[in-house]
């Protein structure tokens, strides 16, 4: 006989699991109220927890399994004194505990108010899971529906018994789950506390300090989503993990559906993330081509086709083997243009049927359909984390929203109103380039990129060289201030008409004067955007 305690919020796969257990032999089930009702409804005999404890569920069901008779059956060990205790109190030792938790993560994603979120905090469930995991030598714990099949397979192969190896695996999964669950709750209340601090500061007319923007401790709990062929290079092993910050449900992670093509690699994932960040900010319709975590072409247009033509023409050589991304439905005609070259990935929020058919002619192209809202503007206070091995972790969070065109400050020139749209576009792109970064644009089209140089003038020269004669009358964006006037001299010679940059240099006055003499309009954003 298998004695089982069952208390589940997620009843996925439970009917099949219990019927297969019954086929393997006698089954004695004890269940909590809603689970009991479900099991009876599917035609399987079971008993209520109250039948065992002789104590009713109280406080609206908030107290139901927290009882010595329940935990005695879980924590029993094969010892004479334990057997005597269980006999005296009328309890059978349990062989299997099946418990999953209140759906705190799911309800959090629904945006429930605090008073309702509190009701989604499971108390008895984690206690049952931890107790069963602790005593895994004598019983098994299933805390996720995905584990049911492995339990059945083990019992079929071992005369109704669950192997020690599987019990250990289930133990590890159980403690991982409860740790993850507690982390979700802890992070939720940390954010609540931060909101209170910010509100109090605002009421007092004070700005929050940098230390108040992040909690004093952060628990990272990563769940393996997919094993990758290798890392950034073939000699590196790699695994793709998800975390509660990016979502755990199929609706939210990964942020795309792969419709065809080879398995995603580490570099593919990194490049697609860069692609999404640029497309979110660029405007629509927009097209972007990524190589090595930086764009080699990005543009906006009246149509998606126009945006693509402008982006691709920036640097057709670098576009070879690139990651192509779009902000609108991909048409069949545009798909035909794309497959003329070598492409690693094509990503968009939607595809015409004809476009998918065309792309399917190149079986290796990874076709990604973005999930809803992936390209929508994101909350500015999202965290980013960097792992520095011996140097620990650095976690960053924006304390103010990104600067947009209406907040740009004109510091030189008579104004070039016709270029303000390009100034906003250029600023939205340059912040996603590796520093020191320079980006040149005109008419919503990328003309030149100066990326990853150790001096700003070097990045300026590279971007201007790529832009060539097209730089005349264009906009140049810089991710940080200009430390000297040599950058302005180079811009003047190339015919740059407007510069947008953060400002903040001790030589700002000299730089502004140089722009005035050169007839260049300069806008300050007041916000640096390094990316390393």
Q: What positions carry a catalytic annotation? A: 134, 292
Residue 351 is given by DSSP the state B
Burial 99-129 (b: 16+ CB within 10 A, else e): bbbbebbeebeeeeeeeebeebbbebbbbbb
Element (H, E) at 148: helix 148-157
Determine the Cα–Cα distance for residues 2 and 46; give it in Å rounded to an integer.
12
Say if strands 383-387 and 475-478 run parallel, antiparallel, or are unpaired: unpaired
DSSP E strands, 252-371? 256-260, 286-291, 294-300, 322-326, 343-348, 366-370
Where does 12-118 have alpha helices with state H?
14-24, 33-41, 49-53, 68-75, 80-89, 104-109, 114-117
Determine the Cα–Cα distance for residues 498 and 140; give it in Å rounded to an integer.
68
> Which tokens is 349 given?
């929020």
The DSSP code sequence of 392-409 is -EEEEE-SSPPP-GGG-E
3-state helix, strand, coil in the chain (%, to 5): 45, 20, 35
User: By C-alpha distance, which of 225, 166, 218 is closest to 191?
Assistant: 218
CB atoms inside a 10 Å sphere around CB 433 = 25
Determine the Cα–Cα distance for residues 68 and 403; give it in Å rounded to an integer.
59
CA 105 to each of CA 102, 221, 299, 311, 528: distance values in angstroms, whole numbers, following the listed order: 9, 14, 38, 40, 35
Helix (H, G, I), strand (E, B) or coil at 258: strand
Burial 216-241 (b: 16+ CB within 10 A, else e): eeeeebeeeeeebeeeeeeeeebebe
Determine the Cα–Cα distance for residues 382 and 245; give it in Å rounded to an integer.
9
Determine the Cα–Cα distance for residues 501 and 103; give it in Å rounded to an integer.
46
Q: Which residues pair with 242 in a beta bridge?
A: 223
User: By C-alpha distance, which of 189, 365, 356, 338 is closest to 264?
Assistant: 365
Helix (H, G, I), strand (E, B) or coil at 24: helix
Say if residues 382 and 397 touch (Cβ distance below 8 Å): yes
């Amino acid at each position: 006989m298998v004695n089982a305690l069952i208390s589940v919020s997620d009843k996925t796969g439970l009917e099949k699991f219990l019927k297969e257990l019954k086929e393997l032999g006698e089954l004695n089930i004890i269940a909590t109220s809603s689970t009991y009702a479900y099991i009876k409804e599917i035609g399987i005999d079971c008993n209520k927890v109250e039948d065992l404890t002789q104590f009713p569920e109280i406080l609206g069901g908030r107290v139901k399994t927290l009882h010595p008779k329940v935990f005695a059956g879980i924590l029993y060990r094969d010892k004479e004194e334990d057997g005597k205790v269980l006999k005296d109190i009328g309890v059978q030792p349990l062989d299997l505990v099946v418990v999953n938790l209140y759906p705190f993560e799911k309800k959090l994603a629904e945006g429930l108010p605090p008073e309702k979120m509190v009701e989604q905090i499971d108390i008895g469930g984690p206690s049952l899971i931890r107790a069963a995991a602790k005593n895994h030598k004598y019983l098994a714990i299933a805390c996720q529906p995905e584990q049911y099949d492995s339990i059945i397979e083990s019992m079929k192969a071992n005369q109704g018994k669950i192997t020690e190896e599987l019990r250990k695996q289930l133990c590890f999964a159980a403690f991982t789950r409860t740790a993850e669950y507690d982390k979700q709750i802890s992070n939720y209340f940390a954010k609540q506390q931060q909101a209170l601090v910010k509100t109090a500061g605002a009421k007092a007319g004070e700005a929050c300090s940098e230390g108040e923007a992040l909690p004093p401790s952060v628990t990272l709990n990563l769940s393996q989503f997919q094993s990758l062929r290798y890392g950034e290079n073939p000699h590196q092993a790699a695994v793709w993990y998800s975390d509660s910050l990016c979502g755990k449900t199929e609706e939210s992670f990964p942020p795309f559906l792969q419709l065809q093509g080879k398995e995603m690699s580490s570099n593919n994932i990194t490049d697609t993330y860069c692609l999404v960040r640029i497309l979110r900010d660029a405007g629509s319709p927009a097209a972007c081509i990524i190589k090595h975590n930086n764009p080699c072409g990005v543009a906006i247009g009246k149509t998606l086709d126009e945006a693509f033509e402008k982006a691709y023409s920036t640097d057709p050589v670098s576009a070879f083997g690139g990651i192509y991304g779009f902000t609108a439905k991909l048409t069949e005609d545009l798909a035909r243009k794309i497959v003329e070259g070598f492409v690693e990935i094509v990503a968009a929020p939607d595809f015409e049927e004809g476009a998918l058919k065309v792309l399917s002619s190149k079986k290796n192209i990874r076709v990604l359909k973005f999930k809803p809202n992936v390209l929508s503007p994101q909350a500015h206070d999202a965290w980013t984390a960097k792992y520095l091995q011996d140097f620990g972790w650095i976690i960053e969070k924006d304390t103010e929203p990104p600067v947009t065109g209406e907040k740009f400050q004109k510091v030189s020139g008579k104004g070039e109103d016709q270029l303000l749209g390009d100034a906003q576009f250029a600023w939205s792109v340059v912040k996603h380039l590796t520093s020191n970064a320079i980006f040149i644009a005109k008419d919503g089209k990328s003309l030149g990129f100066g990326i990853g140089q150790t001096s700003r003038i070097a990045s300026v020269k590279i971007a201007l060289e790529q832009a060539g004669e097209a730089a005349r009358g264009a906009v140049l964006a810089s991710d940080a201030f200009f430390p000297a006037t040599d950058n302005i001299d180079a811009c003047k010679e190339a015919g740059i008409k407007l510069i947008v940059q953060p400002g903040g240099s001790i030589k700002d006055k000299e730089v502004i004067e140089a722009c005035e003499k050169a007839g260049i309009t300069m806008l300050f954003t007041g916000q640096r955007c390094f990316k390393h």
